[in-house]
Amino acid sequence: MKIKSELSNIISDALKSANIESDDVVISDATKPEFGDYQFNGVMKLAKILKQNPRQIATNLVEHIDTTGMIAKVEIAGPGFINIWLNDEWLAKEATAILTDDRVGVGYVENPKKVVVDYSGPNMAKQMHVGHLRSTIIGDTLATLLEFLGEDVVRQNHIGDWGTQFGMLIAYLEEQGADGATTELKDLEQFYKDAKVRFDESPEFADKAREYVVKIQGGDKHCLTLWQSFIDASLGHCEEVYDKLGVNLTRDDVRAESFYNPKLADVIKTLKEKKLSTVSDGAECVFLDGSEVPVIVQKGDGGYLYATTDLAALEYRAKELKADRICYVVDARQGQHFKQVFTIAKQAEMVGENVALEHIGFGTMMDKGGKPFKTRDGGVIKLIDLLDEAVVKAKESIKERDAHTEDELENIATVVGIGAVKYADLSISRESNYIFSWDKMLSFEGNTSLYMQYAYARIQSILRKYDGEIKGNIIIGDETEHRLAHLLLKFEDTLSKAATDATPHTITSYLYDVVTQFMKFYELNPILKGGIDEEVKMSRLQLAKLTASVIKKGLDILGIEVVDKI
């Protein structure tokens, strides 16, 4: 249900019949309940353009607004705000209509676009750590969301599998007589450290490592086999994490750095042809206007750089994958890099003019003291350890509650623990740094996954208790039901905003609103208690059921599961 655009149409029509010239009509949510459900603030702007009194324009406009359908009434307030109230019967009818819809009233986008979402991007030389969490979760949510709305989504996992450190790693792998399947690679972090020690202590080994770098790049069979087995093992670690996180990334989504390697020479060629790059201090550089520091695309020794690979990837995504929109879910600190690369790609016509290039930046995860999140001894926190800890902590907090079997407990703890980590991350506007706190994320109170999951479980409990066929229409009986039904119908507007702005926290705060509104409704309007009219009982059961559906679907898009009992 696209409420805003329908309202916008109604207002546009009214403007037309009132003979008022105007461009796009923007409808906002009302800032307070006294101001109704929505408001149109455009009159003040129009007044300025038309040099007329805003109250006068508003009066004229209001007379032409159709209040026979979805709108119950409109009022003029303040300097020229137009407040809009939705009609109860309309709400009831629309809410009833989506009861049996498995998309809970959410339609598909009109013109599906090809959207590439680049996220996760782990480095194969190292184990995934907390730094990869945000990219992986935000990216996956964005991809799932866009897909749900009907966009044609292509996931891209741009893994780091190319570079000098791999010479060292495969030389060490060979020396250990191991292949990727052996236990030697169980702990990548340790393996890297061991290899580094060997590299520093033995000149022969170091030479061999350097030689292997060249050999991989030259396509040497033996080295490539070693390299491949190393990458496979490392990817296996990532997949373990993806599996625990419930993230939809597969090997098909992997487009590694190495994939672009053969294309890099062409990138330089293009840049030279377009006269965008020049040689400076022996390196091939692009000087963007106003900047004295260049973007280096080829080193003095002929080697390529980060920017070069990203340019190749951009071109591939625009031309081969035919993307209309390319989203990079990468740490905000790389903002300048992407700004530069995007500019170069457009200037060099590697991507078309109308392809949207977006850096979906996010802040750093901090500890309680506001410092980057590390282990006690200052090391990086492995993602897998973090997730396991979340499950253990969740189990502790649930254990004290009702008796569960061991299996149930394990399952609930997993759903709750992983959900808490993801929700905590997604519920904060992504640009800012965020403070990681176990206590906060595992709390049942406030805007947390547990609060939503708990509300869901409670509704399920009501539905179980009723244990009969739920049928009949939703009826709006009071203000709490009006607001609840309205919120439930706002699901689509919420999702499309989250999709265009790439802001998952829009969804979490919406869900939080839904749940708190449900709690208020439920507090005032008993469902199963005695003395309730059958029709009213059915309506309330339906509202409860619909609320549960929205919670479930919403969390589902965020990659968070629910359980019937907690």
Q: Please, which residue, 178 or 544, has the CB nearer to RNA?
A: 544
Residue 310 φ/ψ region, left for φ over 0, alpha for ψ in the -120 to 50 degree band, beta for the rest: alpha
Q: Side-chain half-sphere of 247: how many Cα atoms within 13 Å?
A: 29
Contacts of 498 (CB under 8 A, 6+ apart): 145, 504, 506, 507
Contacts of 146 (CB under 8 A, 6+ apart): 115, 117, 153, 499
Q: Please, which residue, 525 or 549, has the CB nearer to RNA?
A: 525
CB of 524 vs RNA, minimal distance in Å: 8
CB of 522 vs RNA, minimal distance in Å: 5
Q: Please, which residue, 35 or 178, has the CB nearer to RNA?
A: 35
CB of 538 vs RNA, minimal distance in Å: 13
- In Å, what is the CA distance from 478 to each residue of 92, 475, 563? 12, 9, 30
Q: Please, which residue, 184 or 199, has the CB nearer to RNA?
A: 199
Q: Please, which residue, 112 or 163, has the CB nearer to RNA?
A: 163
Where does 427-490 have alpha helices with state H? 438-441, 449-466, 479-489
CB of 502 vs RNA, minimal distance in Å: 9
CB of 300 vs RNA, minimal distance in Å: 4
What's the token pair of residue 319? Answer: 């031309």
Task: Give Cα 192 distance to the centre of its chain.
Answer: 31
Q: Please, which residue, 178 or 316, has the CB nearer to RNA?
A: 316
Strands 81-86 and 38-40: antiparallel
CB of 208 vs RNA, minimal distance in Å: 20
CB of 301 vs RNA, minimal distance in Å: 7
Q: Please, which residue, 205 or 304, has the CB nearer to RNA?
A: 304
Question: 99 phi and psi, to 5 degrees?
Answer: -55, -40
- In Å, what is the CA distance from 175 to each residue of 168, 270, 458, 510? 11, 41, 58, 55
Which of 560, 249, 239, 238 lies closest to 417, judged by CA? 560
CB of 310 vs RNA, minimal distance in Å: 9
**E runs forming strands in 374-529:** 434-435
Which of 243, 249, 257 lies closest to 159, judged by CA? 257
How far separated are the first and last CA of the chain, in Å rounded?
Answer: 32
What's the token pair of residue 530? Answer: 């005695």
CB of 308 vs RNA, minimal distance in Å: 8
Q: Please, which residue, 303 or 352, has the CB nearer to RNA?
A: 303
Strands 325-331 and 356-362: parallel
CB 521 within 8 A of CB 484: yes
CB of 372 vs RNA, minimal distance in Å: 7
Q: What is the dihedral of CA 43, 45, 46, 49, to 10 degrees?
A: 160
CA distance 79 to 393: 53
Q: Please, which residue, 201 or 439, has the CB nearer to RNA?
A: 439
CB of 183 vs RNA, minimal distance in Å: 27
CB of 514 vs RNA, minimal distance in Å: 11
- In Å, what is the CA distance from 494 to each residue of 21, 135, 140? 29, 22, 18
CB 42 within 8 A of CB 20: no
Q: Please, which residue, 71 or 178, has the CB nearer to RNA?
A: 71
The SS3 call for residue 215 is helix
Q: Please, which residue, 92 or 507, has the CB nearer to RNA?
A: 507
CB of 102 vs RNA, minimal distance in Å: 23
Q: Please, which residue, 87 or 460, has the CB nearer to RNA?
A: 460
CB of 149 vs RNA, minimal distance in Å: 17
Q: Please, which residue, 270 or 334, has the CB nearer to RNA?
A: 334
Q: Please, which residue, 17 or 432, has the CB nearer to RNA?
A: 432
- Burial class (CB within 10 angstroms; exposed 0-12, middle 13-18, buried 19+) of 170: buried
- In Å, what is the CA distance from 30 to each residue of 35, 82, 88, 415, 438? 6, 10, 17, 35, 35
Strands 434-435 and 365-366: parallel
